[in-house]
Amino acid sequence: MTQQRFNVAILGATGAVGEQMLATLEKYDFPIASLTLLSSKRSAGKKITFKGEELTVQEATPESFEGIQLALFSAGGSVSKALAPEAVKRGAIVVDNTSAFRMDEDVPLIVPEVNEEDLKKHQGIIANPNCSTIQMVAALEPIRESHGLKRVVVSTYQAVSGAGVKAIDEMYQQSRQILDGEEINPQVLPVSGEKNHYQIAFNAVPQIDVFQENGYTFEEMKMINETKKIFNNDSMQVAATCVRLPVETGHSESVYIEVEKDGLDVSQVHQLLKDAPGITLQDDPANQVYPLASKSKGKDDVFVGRVRRDLDNSKGFHMWIVADNLLKGAALNSVQIAFSLVKLGLLK
Ligand code: NAP
Ligand code: 3JM
């Protein structure tokens, strides 16, 4: 029997996430019949090579999705809000990388290692969680499954590539200017649409996305709400502090968890992580082995290390979780969702 192939579109193909989507579809040989690359008017006409074939980027319109079976969206929340319903109306399944639909009740929020089965409930749109959420829940799932999770407290150390191509350029330009003794003129970070912009080079900025009325940023609330939704547990206690660092790629997270059941020790946590799909344990303090953002770039796995039992709480554990934010945090997770759809017979 010949393998079924699909008409695929990538919306945001010229962006930091879109570029990695193309690379991941190619690397894992997703069964593609035709590939449509979409962007705004700005990049329409640009040529991109996929599997040795030159493709021309087109401006995205509702009609772009005629005949498309699978659409991978990463062009920002407002673009998703406008075009995802148009794609679904034309018969496509949308895997959306933005926060536009993540908390909608009829939209599954998927990390395949954790809740692949939730895909069966989809109504056309499937949401890919926030990058910081994905790597954290992937690493915590084996521990949650075996001992339950009562509480999660996370502080993030996030890379600039999570804020797109312009943020990466700003970090490098500013770094050069500071080293050359020139004046800097921040215009992108922490949030391009806000009135104040701050130095990112040689700095740490405790704001990712816009502030909410409760004093948390939207990025922090995404981590809190998405974690509860993915684990299907509204009573889980979750808190987050999200910080941007001058790292190009690779989000790092310091995570404190409190498990529900007694009797867990560090060696058991190690074993659970070693046995878990998509996780690499890197935890050997005697030899200075621990996950590093710089080494996560280009890798598919989520790396975990520095696992310690809390000194005051026998059910408390600390750990350091690192992943390539553009791969497992975005493009790879989306492509894994696409493969799961094929496997479950949901992509027709
Ligand atoms: P980026 O590098 O700035 O790229 C943005 C992409 O969207 C470009 O291809 C751009 O096309 C396209 N675009 C912008 N406005 C558009 C419009 N009006 N119509 C059609 N296309 C438009 O950003 P990125 O880092 O790739 O992120 C893109 C989006 O993905 C983010 O806004 C975010 O919602 C989501 N994201 C999700 C995660 C995650 O955690 N899962 C991580 C990062 C980003 P042009 O080349 O024409 O400008
Ligand atoms: C990561 O349209 C926008 O404002 C995009 C903001 C954004 C998001 C988001 O909210 O979709 C930038 C970077 C994300 C995300 O994955 O949540």
* pLDDT single digits (tens) 133-159: 999 999 999 999 999 999 999 999 999
Q: Whose CA is nearest to atom 7 of ligand 1?
A: 75
Which of 74, 209, 226 most suits a substitution to test ligand 2, by most atoms within 8 Å of the C-beta?
A: 209
The minimum-distance atom of ligand 1 relative to the CA of 330 is 41
Tokens of 296: 């996560």
Q: How far, in Å, CA of 305 to CA of 253, rounded?
A: 11
CB 251, CB 323: distance < 8 Å: yes
Q: How far, in Å, CA of 108 to CA of 94, rounded?
A: 11
194-219 per-position pLDDT tens digit: 999 999 999 999 999 999 999 999 99
Catalytically active residues, by annotation: 131, 251
Q: Whose CA is nearest to atom 12 of ligand 2?
A: 163
Q: Which residues line ligand 2 (CB under 6 A)?
A: 76-78, 98-99, 130-131, 162, 222
Domains observed in the chain: 6-129+330-343 (3.40.50.720), 133-325 (3.30.360.10)
Q: What is the pLDDT of residue 1?
A: 60
Q: Whose CA is nearest to atom 14 of ligand 2?
A: 98
Does 110 have pLDDT greater than 90?
A: yes
Give exposure, 324-348, as e/b (b: 16+ Cβ within 10 Å).
Answer: bbbbbbbbbbbbbbbebbbeeeebe
CB 254, CB 320: distance < 8 Å: yes
- Measured in Å, residue 191 CA sits from the centre of ligand 2 at 10
The minimum-distance atom of ligand 1 relative to the CA of 80 is 34
- Measured in Å, residue 19 CA sits from the centre of ligand 1 at 10
Task: List helix spans (H) across 95-195.
Answer: 112-115, 131-147, 165-179
Mean pLDDT of 324-335: 98
> pLDDT category, 348, cuts 50, 70, 90?
confident
Tokens of 106: 């009829």
- Measured in Å, residue 60 CA sits from the centre of ligand 1 at 12
Does 2 have pLDDT greater than 80?
A: no
Q: How far, in Å, CA of 323 to CA of 331, rounded?
A: 12
At residue 270, the 3 state secondary structure works out as: helix
- Measured in Å, residue 163 CA sits from the centre of ligand 1 at 9
Q: How far, in Å, CA of 33 to CA of 74, rounded?
A: 21
Summary mean pLDDT of the chain: 98
The radius of gyration computed from the CA coordinates of the chain, to the nearest angstrom, equals 20
CB 348, CB 69: distance < 8 Å: yes
- Measured in Å, residue 119 CA sits from the centre of ligand 1 at 24
Q: Look-up: residue for tokens 């509860």?
A: 228
> pLDDT category, 124, cuts 50, 70, 90?
very high
Which of 17, 74, 79, 98 most suits a substitution to test ligand 2, by most atoms within 8 Å of the C-beta?
A: 98
